[in-house]
């Protein structure tokens, strides 16, 4: 499994990002881009350091694919969200 999708993407100053469902729109000094991502990929907008803060509180540091909160805990080989009860797809 690739872990590249778990890496945060820093947003430079002067760039606006809007997330509406699966559609991501980015606008900056070099132009505009709109993209509809794969449904299996969770795209969330979080404050810088949100994953680090979650790890300090005992969470895994991954965003929940359903609610976007960084409250995922290990549940066997899977992750479970303590906020909404969503899982990473394991039974």
For 6-30, how does the pLDDT look when each residue is reduced to its tens digit (9 = 90+)? 666 778 888 898 888 889 899 999 9
Residue range(s) defining the domain that contains residue 85: 45-91
- Looking at the fold, whether 50 and 32 belong to one and the same domain comes out as no
Residues 49 and 90 in one domain: yes
What φ, ψ does residue 2 adopt, rounded to 5°? Answer: -75, 140
Query: pLDDT for 41-65, tens place per residue?
Result: 777 777 777 777 788 888 888 888 8
Strands (E) located in 21-89: 23-28, 31-36, 72-75, 78-81
Shared domain for 84 and 50, answered yes or no, is: yes
pLDDT of residue 49: 72
Q: What phi, psi does 5 have (nearest 5°)?
A: -70, -15
Q: How many domains does the chain have?
A: 2
Helix, strand or coil for residue 30?
A: coil
> Starting from the edge strand earliest in sequence, which strands make up the sheet with 16-20, in order?
16-20, 23-28, 31-36
């Amino acid at each position: 499994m690739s872990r590249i999708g778990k890496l945060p993407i820093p947003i430079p100053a002067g760039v606006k990002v809007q997330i509406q469902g699966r559609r991501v729109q980015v606008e900056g000094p070099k132009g505009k881009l709109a993209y509809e991502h794969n449904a299996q990929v969770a795209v969330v907008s979080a404050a810088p350091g949100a994953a680090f803060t979650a790890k300090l509180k005992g969470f895994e540091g991954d965003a929940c694919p359903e609610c976007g909160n960084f409250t995922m805990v290990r549940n066997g080989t899977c992750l479970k969200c303590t906020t909404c009860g969503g899982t990473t797809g394991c039974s």
